[in-house]
Structure 1
Amino acid sequence: MPTRRSALKLPLLGLPMTLAAPWPSWAAPPRLAVRGQDIVGPDGQPILLRGWNWGHWAQIELQDAAENAAQGANAVRIPLRYWGNYPGKGVESRDDNATATAGLAPANIAKLDQIVRAASAAKLWIVLFLDSDCGQNGVMQPEQQRFCDPGGQYGANGHNFWTDAAMRQKFIAAWRFVASRYKDTPYLGLFEPLPEPNPHGTPGGQIKAFYAEVMAAIREAAPGVPLLIGGRSYHAQAIDDVFDPAWKDVVYTGNLFLHAKARGADDAALAEFRDRLKRLADFRAQHNVPVFVQQVGVRSKEDPDRRALREMMQALVSSRVGFTYWDYRGAGNPDEYSVLFERGRDWVTKREWIDTISAAFKQR
C-alpha cells in the first residue's frame, strides 16, 4: 500500500542543526577492524555487513534507518556528493567559498549530520563515501563533460582528480574535514574514499597512488577507521590493480550489478554474475584480505519473477560476502533498482523484493 512521502526535516531526534562537531572527541566508540579475510566487530568476532544503499541522497526519509534495522540490516552506505552534475537541487556539495567547512556546503553537512545520526541511532554500521562524477572521470556523458570542464581545456581525458592536481587537493581537504567530523560517530564503519574511479588514459597504478594519497589524509584525521577501495570502475577483474599488502586496514570491493534481458534473467547473465563474485572471493583467499560488495542489484523490469534476485542473494550468502543492496528508496517508477519508488506524492513498496533481500540479511 502506498505511503505518503515525508520531507527530511530539521531537527532530527530533537537535535539542533549545528555545524559544531556532532560527537565529542572523548567518546571514541568501538570500531570495526580488518583481520585477515574478515571484517571483525568490536567484540573481535567476524561480522558480515549487510544492508542498503541510501544512494538517492535527497530522498532519504527519517524512518528508513529503523525500518532497515527491523528488516535485518546491520549496515547502510551513505553518500556525500562532492563535485558533479547531480540531478536535484542542492545535491552537489562542493562550495569553494565555504572555507570553514573545507569547501563543502554547510547546509549539506548539516543534512549529512542528521542522516548519519539516524543510521547510528539504529545501530547500522555506516559506510560513508564521498562521490564525485567529475573527479572520477569527468567525461561519462556529454552533459557531465560540459559541467566538469566548461572551458573545454582538459580535452578527451576529462577534468578530474588525475588531470587537475589542485582539484585533487581540494578533495583531500574535504575528506580531512569529513573524516575528522565523523570519526567519533558510534557505528561509523568504513570510509570509502572515491567510488568507481575511471580516469581516461591513466594506468591502474595511478589509481592506486591516488587512493594512497587520499587514505593517508583520512588515516591522519581518523586513525583506526577501516577503508574501502576498488579497481577501475569497481570492476571485479580490476581489483588487483589497487592491492597493496602493506595496507592492513583496507577492505576491497567491486560492483555486482546483474544486467538481464527485459523478459527475465537468463542462465548466461547469472553465470556471469557468479564469475564476478568468484573473482572477488578468490582475491580474498589469495591475498588474505576482506571483500565487501558495496553495490549489488538488478532492475525489476529485467527480473520480473525475482529469479535472479533470489539466486544473487543466495550466492552472496553462500560465499560469505557482505553487501549493501542498490538501492532502498529513489526511483520514480517500479522498473528500476530501488525497492521503494515514487508515485506522485506517495512511496510504493515492492514488498516481495524487500522480503527476499531481508531474508538474505538474516542468514548466518
Structure 2
Amino acid sequence: MLTRPLTTLALGLSLTMAMPASALAAAAHLSVRGQEIVDPNGQPILLRGWNWGHWGKTQASDAADNAAQGANTVRIPLRWWGQYDGKNIDSRDDNATTTAGIDPAHLKHLDDMVHWASAAKLWIVLFIDSDCGQSGTQNEKERQYCDPRGEYAKGGHNFWTDRAARQKFIAVWRFIANRYKDTPYIGLFEPLPEPNPAGVPDDQIKAFYAEVMGAIREVAPGVPLLIGGRAYKAPAIRQVYDPAWKDVVYTGNLFLHAKQHGADEASLNELRERSKRLLELRAEHQVPVFVQQVGVRSGEDPDRHGVKAVLSNLVANRIGFAYWEYRGAVNPNEYGVMYQRGNEWVPKRDWIDTITPFFKQ
C-alpha cells in the first residue's frame, strides 16, 4: 500500500535549480509583525485567493486566471499518507528514498503548481495533508488503510501513536521546505491541517507543531508558518498559541453549514461567533490570523446570500482568506466554482462573479 516501486519517471529539476541566480537573489519572504502579515517591503498585506484543493485537477492557466480575478494568494496541497477519494492521490512512497518518501510523479506535479503560482505572483500557502497522520480514525475505511494490521486498535496509526511515521513526515517537510524555500512568492508553510488525534491531549498537538516547525525553520528560516487548533475549529485556536513563536500565523476553518433552505440567519450567526474566536486571539496576543478554508456548498446557498455575508464579515474585520475552492467536484451543488462534467470544466459564473470582488476590497 505504501511501498510502490520507484518508477523511472523523471523527477524534473527543482524550481531552485531551474531558476537563474538573479531570480533566487530577488526571492523575498512575507513576515509577521504584530497583528499583520507584511510583504517584503514591510507593508501590511491581506492574503486573499483560492484553494487548489483537489489533487491533480489544477491546470496551467489557473494561476494567471486567478491573478486576473484579483487574487494574490493560492493554497496548494501535497497529500501524503491517507485514504483519499479518487485514484492516485496519496503521494507516499517509502521506496522513493531520493525524494524523502514522495512519489516522484506527484513531486513533479507539485513543482508545476508551485511554478505556475510563483510565475503569476501569487503568494503560496503550501500545506502537506495527511488523513492518516492527523487522526487515522475518521472512519472504518480510513482505519483499514492507515492501520491494516490493527496495531493501534484504539487510535489507529497517526503521528502521535506512531513515532516512526512522525519522523517520516518530518523528513518529508525538511525535503519540501528546502526544495521551495528560495522560490519567489513562497508565502506560508502549513505543517499539518486539522490535527485531530483521538485520546491525545491538546498540549500534545501543540508539541507536535513545535517539533515539525522547528525542523522547517532549520532548513527554511524566514518562511512564516500557519497552524490551527484541533480539527482547525476556530474556538480551538488558543490550544496552539505560543508567545515564543514570532513567525506564526494562526488559522481556523470557516465553512458555512447552511440549513436545508439556504443560508439562514442562525447559520450566519453561528459562523460569526466562530470568527470572533480568531479576532479575539488576534487582538489579545497581537498575532495575525488567516482563514485557510472558507466556503459554502453551492446547493445550500442558491442565491449566494450566505457567501456574500461570510466574505463581507472577513473583509470588514481585515482577515485574509483562501476560498474553498477553485476546481471542485463533479457535482455542481458542491464546493468549488468550477465543476467537472465529463471531460469538460464548467465555470459557475455567478459564483465567480460574487466571490472575486472580495479579493480586491
1:21 is aligned, of 14, 25, 32, to 14
Letter in 1 for 2:16: W
Residues 1-364 of structure 1 correspond to what in structure 2 (within 5 A)? 18-24=11-17, 27-28=24-25, 29-363=27-361
Mapped partners of 2:350, 2:94: distance in 1? 45
CA contact (8 A) 2:11 2:104 kept: no
| Contact persistence 1:294–1:324 (CA under 8 A) | yes
Taking every aligned residue pair, what percent have the same amino acid on both sides? 66
**1:58 touches 1:88 (CA, 8 Å); kept in 2?**
no
- Give the 3-state SS of the residue equivalent to 2:328 in structure 1: strand
Structure 1 residue 157: deviation in Å? Answer: 1.3
- Deviation, structure 1 residue 185: 0.6
Shift of 1:18: 4.3
Q: Displacement, 1:279?
A: 1.1
After TM superposition, give the deviation of residue 21 of structure 1 in Å.
Answer: 3.1
Instruction: Quote how far apart the aligned CAs of 1:87 are.
Output: 2.5
Q: Read off the aligned partner of 2:163 and give its amino acid letter.
A: A
How far did residue 153 of structure 1 move? Answer: 1.3
Q: Does the residue aligned with 1:200 lie in a helix, a strand or coil?
A: coil
Q: Distance in 1 between matches of 2:280 and 2:114?
A: 33
Question: Is the contact between residue 48 and residue 320 of structure 1 (CA under 8 Å) also seen in structure 2?
Answer: yes
1:319 maps to a residue whose letter is N
Shift of 1:91: 1.3
Separation in structure 2 between the aligned mates of residue 81 and residue 231 of structure 1, nearest angstrom: 20
- Once the two structures are superposed, residues 66-113 of structure 1 have per-residue CA deviations (whole angstroms, 9 ceiling, x without a partner) of 110000000000000000012233211111111111111111111110
After superposition, what is the alpha-carbon deviation per residue over 1:253-307, rounded to whole angstroms, capped at 9, x for unaligned? 0000010112111111000111111110111001100000000000011111101
Is the contact between residue 48 and residue 73 of structure 2 (CA under 8 Å) also seen in structure 1? yes
Instruction: Report the secondary structure of 2:107's partner residue.
Output: helix
Output the amino acid matched with 1:35: R
| In 2, Cα distance between equivalents of 1:87 and 1:97 | 23
Q: Distance in 1 between matches of 2:329 and 2:204?
A: 35
The TM-score normalised by the length of structure 2 is 0.94
Alignment RMSD, CA only?
1.3
SS at match of 2:56: helix
CA contact (8 A) 2:11 2:107 kept: no
Asked if the contact 2:11–2:105 (Cα under 8 Å) also holds between the matched residues in 1, the reply is no
Task: Name the CA distance, whole Å, in 2 between partners of 1:309 and 1:86.
Answer: 27
Letter in 2 for 1:110: K
Structure 2 distance, partners of 1:171, 1:292, is 24
Q: Answer yes or no: is the 8 Å Cα contact 1:31–1:187 preserved in 2.
A: yes
Find the aligned partners of 1:348 and 1:74 in 2 and give their Cα distance. Answer: 23
Q: Is the 8 A contact 2:298 2:332 kept in 1?
A: yes
Return the alpha-carbon distance in structure 2 between the equivalents of residues 89 and 220 of structure 1: 34
Q: Is the 8 A contact 1:82 1:131 kept in 2?
A: yes
Q: Number of paired residues? A: 348
Shift of 1:210: 0.1
Match of 1:341, SS state, is: strand
- Which residue identity lines up with residue 22 of structure 1 in the other structure? L
TM-score calculated relative to the size of structure 1: 0.94
Which sections of structure 1, spanning at least 5 residues, go unmatched?
Answer: 1-16
Give the distance between the partners of 1:219 and 1:301, measured in 2 at CA.
Answer: 42
After superposition, give the CA deviation of every residue in 1:309-352 in whole Å (9 maximum; x if it has no partner).
11011001001000000000021011001000011211111111
User: Aligned with 1:191: secondary structure?
Assistant: strand
- Segments of structure 2 that go 5 or more residues without pairing to the other structure are 1-9
